[in-house]
Amino acid sequence: MRADVGDMEEDLKAEIQPIEKGVLRKEVVDFEWKGRRLAQLLSTDSDLRKMILEGGLPHLAVSPDKKDECVAIRRLHQKWHGMMINGIPVRYSLTAGGKGFPSREAFEIYDRIAKHVRSIVNTPKT
């Protein structure tokens, strides 16, 4: 979304940290937003929390860009990679951006997040 980020870059950064259960088959049971002002707003939106958990989108990030005057809302994908260390198989993950077209539910989630971004950007400075 287009937005004059100004000096609010740090306030507008937010990323979901999923809370998982299970050892072999990880399942996301909850999440928390990490960041400053936007993360606090997103954390208090119970409808958004429900939408994200039901929509299966527990890997989201919001990244402001002062130079391009925009705020990106993107979905991150977990990609698991394996390697052997001293004969023991070890799995680790790298995060990369997704390339699939978002679902209707994802657009609704992005729109709700964008409303919170707008509420911060449009708030008069004191």
For the segment 67-109, what is each residue's pLDDT rounded down to a tens digit?
888 888 888 765 544 555 566 655 544 444 555 677 888 889 9
Q: 41 or 18: which carries more pLDDT confidence?
A: 41
Encoded tokens for 27: 């399942």
List beta partners, residue 26: none
Q: Is there a domain that residue 77 lies in?
A: yes
45 pLDDT more than 90: yes
Encoded tokens for 75: 């979905």
Structural domain that includes position 49: 14-121
Distance CA 77, CA 36 (A): 23
Q: Is there a domain that residue 19 lies in?
A: yes
Distance CA 67, CA 5 (A): 9
Encoded tokens for 65: 């860009």
Q: Is there a domain that residue 9 lies in?
A: no
Total domains present in the chain: 1
Helix (H, G, I), strand (E, B) or coil at 104: helix
Q: Is there a domain that residue 88 lies in?
A: yes
